[in-house]
C-alpha cells in the first residue's frame, strides 16, 4: 500500500444502494490508498455509508469538483480477495443487480457496518516460559494479569477470547501487557486438516469411476454425478474432499436446506479430523461471522452451507460440491434472484477448480449440459447395500374403493406393513385438514379476501387459513351467501389423512411431519428421532419428507395424490413430478429390506408415470427434453421474466404493456430475442396486490443479456416504474 499522491488517487466503491453503478471517491493526500476488497466509509448524499473498494483508478468520468473524499478506511487488509470481487462483479452483471447490494449480500451482517472485524474467536493464547516464571513469582501490582496467568497455566492448549472474557471484561488490556512482556503468546492454531479418523469403505465400481474422474480433473471442470437414491453419492464427496484436503486446500459443500446440514456434518466429522464449519441462516450473527472468518482466513477445511454460503470466501479453494443440485431452493426467489448452482459453477471456473453437482434426479438443464459434453457425467445405477430399488405400482383411484383419500389396496398394504413390524410413509403435498370449505346448497367456497385462492381448513386450530398470505379466519357456522345451516369440507390434507389412518388403524402410532407440526425449533429433529427409534409406525407428511432424510425402517411409501403434480400450468411440472416421486420413493428400503411404492392416481395411463414406475431417469429425461425442445423452453432457450405488482387492478399489467412496447423497440437490434405479451399472473391477486408478468426468451444467451441490460436501464429510467413494484428475474425457476 502506498500513500496517495497529490489528488491523483481515486477508488471505485460499491455501495449498498439499488443503483447499478460504482461511485468514485478521492483518497485524501497522505492517506494510504485502500486496496480492492477493503471497506471504506464515504459521504453519500446527506449520509455516510460503508462500501467496498472494487478498484483503484487515476481518472473519473465525473468533473473533479464533484468528487468527494473518503471519510475513513475501515479495513487495513482486504476482506474480499480479487477472485471474490471478480465473482461478485460477474454475478452483478449476469443478474443485472446492483453490485453494491451483491457485495453486501456476500458479507456477514456484522461486517456490513463500519466496525473492523472482531477478534477471531478461535485465536488462543498460552503461557510462555517467562509467563510461568512471572506466575511463580506470585501476584504483584497487577492482580488481573496474575489471574490471567493462573488461568492460562491450567490450560495447556491455551484459552480463547471468550474464555478470557469470563475472567474480566477488561481482560484485553491486561493480556496485551502480558503479550508485550513475552509472558503470553498466541498459541498455534489447529491445522485445518489433520487427517482421517476412519478408513474409507471400499468404493463400488461406479463410485470409483466418479472419484477417479473428479480427481483427474486439473483446473475447472463441472461434474454431474447422477446416482440413484442410496447409491452412495456422499461417499464420492468424502473421497474427493479427502484428496483436496490432503493437498492443503478447502472444500465448499452446499445443500438445499438447513435440515440437511447436521447429518452431512456428522458424516464429515466421523471421517475427517479437521476444522469443519456450517454456515446457514439458523446461526446467530456472531456464529456466522466466525465461520465466515475461519473460511476466509483458510483456518477451516470444509464449509457446509445453504444457498448464501456460495459466496463465502475461501483462502485456498480446492473443490465445490453442490448436493441435490436439482432442488429449486437453490434459486433465491426474491430481491437478488441468483441461482446458487450457477453461481457455484461460475465461481469454480474463476477459481480454476472442479465443481461436483450431485443428484438422483438431475435438473434437465444440468443433464442437457452433460449430454452436450459441457459437464462430465457419472452415473451410479446400483445401491451398495443389498436392498434393491423399491417396486412401484399405480393405484387407479377411479376404479378402486376409496375412503377419505385412502384406497383399499393402500390401506391393506399399510396394515400388512404394520403386521410385519415395519414402517410406512404417506406423502401428500397439502397441509391442513381440507383444502376447501363448500356450501352444498349454493356452491359457495371459502375464498381468501386478499388472494385468488381458497382457504384451507385447519381442524386442530379450527381456523381457515390462506397458504399464500397470512390471512386467518374462522369457519362460518352457516353459509354466508345463502344461509344454509351447514357448510362442508372437501378434499384431504395431511391432518385429514392422519385422522383417517388413526380411524383405520386404532392404536397405531402415527407421526405427522409438515410445517404445522414442526414450526418450533427442534421439533422436526424430535419427530425424526421418534421415527428412527421405531416408535412411529406410520409417517404422514409433505415435501419436508422428500428431502434427504433416510428412513431405514420404512418399507412402504404411499403417494396419496400425484395428480396435482401431473396437471400444473408450470412447464417444469413433469420434471417436478419425477423428482418428487423418485425422491420420496428413495426414502424407503435403504436397509436390508426391499420397499414398495404405491402411487394413487386417476390417470394411470399418463406417459409421465411410466418412467417413474421403471426408475428410468434417462427415459423420463428424453421425453421431457423432447417436450421442452418442441415448446422452446429451457434448456433449449434462455428466459427472463419481468414481474410487477401494484395495489390497483390492471396497474401492473398496464405498466408491463408499456414496458412491452419499450422492449419491442429495443429488440429490433437483437432479433433473436422474443418478447412475449404481458399476462396477469396465474394467481393474479395475492396478499391484496395484483400481479402480472412478461416473459422474454432467446436461444442465445449473449444477445438476451445485451437486450436485458438495455431494457433494464430503460425501465429504471421510466417514470412509470416508480408506480409499481417490479423485478427482473434472469433464469426464472417458477413462471407464475
Partner DNA sequence: AGCACGCCGACT
Partner DNA sequence: GTCGGCGTGCTC
- Residues of this chain that bind DNA (CB under 7 A): 17-19, 21-26, 42-47, 60, 62, 66-68, 719, 722
DSSP 195: E
Give the three cell numbers for residue 621.
429425461
- Residue placing its CB nearer to DNA in the complex, 451 or 642: 642
Please answer whether residues 694 and 642 qualify as being in contact, where contact means their C-beta atoms are separated by less than 8 angstroms.
yes
End-to-end CA distance of the chain: 51
**CA 160/CA 409 separation, integer angstroms:** 62
Q: Cβ contacts of residue 108 below 8 Å, gap of 6+?
A: 285, 288, 289, 292
Strands lying side by side in the sheet with 184-186: 159-160, 124-127, 184-186
DSSP 552: T
- Of 87, 83, 84, give the one whose Cα is nearest residue 111: 84
- Residue placing its CB nearer to DNA in the complex, 608 or 726: 726
What DSSP line would sit under 440-485, residue for residue?
TTT--B-B-SSSSSBPEEETTTTEEE-SSSS-EE---SS-TTT--S
**Phi first, then psi: what are they for 594, rounded to 5°?**
-70, 160
- Residue placing its CB nearer to DNA in the complex, 59 or 386: 59
- Residue placing its CB nearer to DNA in the complex, 66 or 180: 66
The distance of closest approach from Cβ of residue 736 to DNA in the complex, given in angstroms and rounded to an integer, is 24
- Residue placing its CB nearer to DNA in the complex, 46 or 180: 46
Please answer whether residues 240 and 247 qualify as being in contact, where contact means their C-beta atoms are separated by less than 8 angstroms.
no
Cis-peptide, bond into residue 635, ω within 30° of zero = yes
Name residue 302's beta-bridge partners: 251, 276
The distance of closest approach from Cβ of residue 705 to DNA in the complex, given in angstroms and rounded to an integer, is 23
The distance of closest approach from Cβ of residue 17 to DNA in the complex, given in angstroms and rounded to an integer, is 5
**Phi first, then psi: what are they for 483, rounded to 5°?**
80, 5
- Residue placing its CB nearer to DNA in the complex, 24 or 499: 24
- Residue placing its CB nearer to DNA in the complex, 198 or 334: 334
Please answer whether residues 656 and 642 qualify as being in contact, where contact means their C-beta atoms are separated by less than 8 angstroms.
yes
- Residue placing its CB nearer to DNA in the complex, 60 or 606: 60
**CA 463/CA 460 separation, integer angstroms:** 8
Instruction: Find cell 496517495 and name the residue.
Output: 4
The distance of closest approach from Cβ of residue 722 to DNA in the complex, given in angstroms and rounded to an integer, is 6
- Residue placing its CB nearer to DNA in the complex, 438 or 726: 726
Give the three cell numbers for residue 678.
404481458
Beta-sheet pairing, 250-254 with 221-227: unpaired
The distance of closest approach from Cβ of residue 67 to DNA in the complex, given in angstroms and rounded to an integer, is 5
The distance of closest approach from Cβ of residue 61 to DNA in the complex, given in angstroms and rounded to an integer, is 7
The distance of closest approach from Cβ of residue 106 to DNA in the complex, given in angstroms and rounded to an integer, is 18
The distance of closest approach from Cβ of residue 10 to DNA in the complex, given in angstroms and rounded to an integer, is 9
**Number of Cβ within a 10 Å radius of residue 692:** 24
Instruction: Find cell 496474575 and name the residue.
Output: 146
- Of 579, 587, 591, give the one whose Cα is nearest residue 550: 587
Give the three cell numbers for residue 615.
426408475
- Residue placing its CB nearer to DNA in the complex, 538 or 651: 651
Give the three cell numbers for residue 135.
506466575
CA 326 to chain centre: 11
DSSP 3-state assignment of 150?
helix
- Residue placing its CB nearer to DNA in the complex, 58 or 202: 58
The distance of closest approach from Cβ of residue 16 to DNA in the complex, given in angstroms and rounded to an integer, is 8
The distance of closest approach from Cβ of residue 275 to DNA in the complex, given in angstroms and rounded to an integer, is 36
The distance of closest approach from Cβ of residue 715 to DNA in the complex, given in angstroms and rounded to an integer, is 13
- Residue placing its CB nearer to DNA in the complex, 21 or 564: 21
The distance of closest approach from Cβ of residue 21 to DNA in the complex, given in angstroms and rounded to an integer, is 6
Amino acid at each position: 500500500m502506498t500513500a496517495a499522491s497529490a489528488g491523483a488517487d481515486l477508488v471505485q466503491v460499491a455501495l449498498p444502494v439499488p443503483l447499478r453503478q460504482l461511485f468514485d471517491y478521492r483518497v485524501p493526500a497522505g492517506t494510504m490508498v485502500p486496496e480492492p476488497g477493503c471497506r471504506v466509509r464515504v459521504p453519500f448524499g446527506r449520509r455516510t455509508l460503508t462500501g467496498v473498494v472494487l478498484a483503484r483508478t487515476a481518472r473519473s468520468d465525473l468533473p473533479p469538483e464533484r468528487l468527494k473524499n473518503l471519510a475513513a478506511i475501515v479495513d487495513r487488509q482486504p476482506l474480499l480477495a480479487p477472485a471474490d470481487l471478480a465473482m461478485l462483479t460477474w454475478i452483478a452483471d449476469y443478474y443485472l443487480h446492483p453490485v453494491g447490494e451483491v457485495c453486501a449480500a456476500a458479507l456477514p451482517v456484522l461486517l456490513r457496518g463500519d466496525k473492523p472485524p472482531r477478534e477471531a474467536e478461535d485465536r488462543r493464547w498460552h503461557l510462555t516460559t517467562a509467563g510461568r516464571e512471572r506466575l511463580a513469582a506470585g501476584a504483584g501490582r497487577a492482580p488481573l494479569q496474575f489471574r490471567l496467568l493462573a488461568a492460562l497455566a491450567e490450560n495447556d492448549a491455551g484459552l480463547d477470547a471468550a474464555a478470557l472474557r469470563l475472567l474480566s471484561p477488561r481482560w484485553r488490556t491486561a493480556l496485551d501487557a502480558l503479550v508485550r512482556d513475552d509472558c503470553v503468546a498466541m498459541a498455534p492454531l489447529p491445522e485445518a486438516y489433520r487427517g482421517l479418523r476412519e478408513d474409507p469403505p471400499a468404493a463400488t465400481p461406479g463410485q470409483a469411476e466418479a472419484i477417479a474422474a473428479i480427481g483427474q480433473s486439473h483446473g475447472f471442470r463441472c461434474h454431474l454425478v447422477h446416482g440413484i437414491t442410496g447409491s452412495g453419492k456422499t461417499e464420492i464427496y468424502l473421497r474427493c474432499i479427502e484428496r483436496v484436503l490432503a493437498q492443503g486446500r478447502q472444500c465448499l459443500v452446499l445443500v438445499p436446506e438447513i435440515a440437511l446440514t447436521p447429518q452431512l456434518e456428522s458424516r464429515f466429522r466421523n471421517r475427517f479430523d479437521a476444522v469443519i464449519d456450517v454456515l446457514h441462516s439458523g446461526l446467530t450473527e456472531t456464529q456466522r461471522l466466525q465461520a465466515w472468518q475461519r473460511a476466509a482466513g483458510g483456518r477451516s477445511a470444509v464449509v457446509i452451507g445453504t444457498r448464501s454460503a456460495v459466496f463465502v470466501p475461501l483462502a485456498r479453494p480446492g473443490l465445490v460440491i453442490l448436493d441435490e443440485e436439482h432442488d429449486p431452493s437453490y434459486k433465491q426467489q426474491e430481491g437478488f434472484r441468483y441461482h446458487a448452482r450457477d453461481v457455484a459453477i461460475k465461481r469454480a471456473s474463476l477459481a480454476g477448480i472442479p465443481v461436483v453437482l450431485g443428484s438422483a434426479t438431475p435438473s434437465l438443464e444440468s443433464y442437457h449440459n452433460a449430454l452436450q459434453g459441457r459437464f462430465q457425467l457419472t452415473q451410479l445405477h446400483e445401491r451398495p447395500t443389498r436392498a434393491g430399488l423399491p417396486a412401484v405400482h399405480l393405484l387407479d383411484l377411479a376404479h378402486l374403493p376409496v375412503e377419505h383419500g385412502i384406497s383399499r389396496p393402500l390401506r391393506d398394504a399399510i396394515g400388512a406393513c404394520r403386521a410385519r413390524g415395519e414402517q410406512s410413509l404417506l406423502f401428500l403435498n397439502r397441509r391442513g385438514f381440507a383444502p376447501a370449505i363448500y356450501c352444498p346448497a349454493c356452491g359457495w367456497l371459502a375464498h381468501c379476501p386478499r388472494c385468488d385462492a381458497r382457504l384451507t381448513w385447519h381442524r386442530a386450530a379450527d381456523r381457515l387459513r390462506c397458504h399464500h398470505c397470512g390471512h386467518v379466519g374462522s369457519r362460518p357456522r352457516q353459509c354466508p351467501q345463502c344461509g344454509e345451516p351447514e357448510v362442508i369440507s372437501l378434499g384431504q390434507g395431511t391432518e385429514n389423512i392422519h385422522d383417517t389412518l388413526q380411524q383405520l388403524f386404532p392404536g397405531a402410532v402415527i407421526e405427522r411431519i409438515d410445517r404445522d407440526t414442526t414450526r418450533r425449533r427442534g421439533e422436526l429433529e424430535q419427530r425424526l428421532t421418534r421415527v428412527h427409534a421405531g416408535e412411529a409406525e406410520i409417517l404422514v407428511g409433505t415435501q419436508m419428507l422428500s428431502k434427504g432424510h433416510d428412513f431405514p425402517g420404512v418399507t412402504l411409501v404411499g403417494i396419496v395424490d400425484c395428480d396435482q403434480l401431473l396437471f400444473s400450468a408450470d412447464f417444469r411440472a413433469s420434471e417436478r413430478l419425477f423428482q418428487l416421486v423418485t425422491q420420496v420413493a428413495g426414502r424407503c428400503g435403504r436397509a436390508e429390506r426391499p420397499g414398495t411404492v404405491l402411487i394413487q392416481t386417476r390417470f394411470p395411463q399418463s406417459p409421465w408415470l411410466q418412467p417413474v414406475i421403471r426408475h428410468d431417469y434417462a427415459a423420463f429425461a428424453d421425453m421431457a427434453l423432447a417436450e421442452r425442445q418442441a415448446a422452446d423452453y429451457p434448456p433449449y432457450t434462455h428466459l427472463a421474466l419481468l414481474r410487477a405488482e401494484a395495489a390497483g387492478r390492471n396497474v401492473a399489467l398496464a405498466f408491463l404493456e408499456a414496458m412491452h412496447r419499450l422492449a419491442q423497440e429495443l429488440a429490433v437490434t437483437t432479433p433473436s430475442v422474443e418478447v412475449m405479451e404481458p399476462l396477469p399472473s396465474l394467481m393474479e391477486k395475492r396478499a391484496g396486490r395484483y400481479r402480472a408478468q412478461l416473459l422474454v426468451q432467446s436461444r442465445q444467451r449473449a444477445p438476451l443479456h445485451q437486450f436485458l441490460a438495455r431494457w433494464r436501464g430503460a425501465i429504471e429510467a421510466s417514470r412509470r416504474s416508480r408506480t409499481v413494484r417490479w423485478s427482473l428475474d434472469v433464469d426464472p425457476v417458477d413462471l407464475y
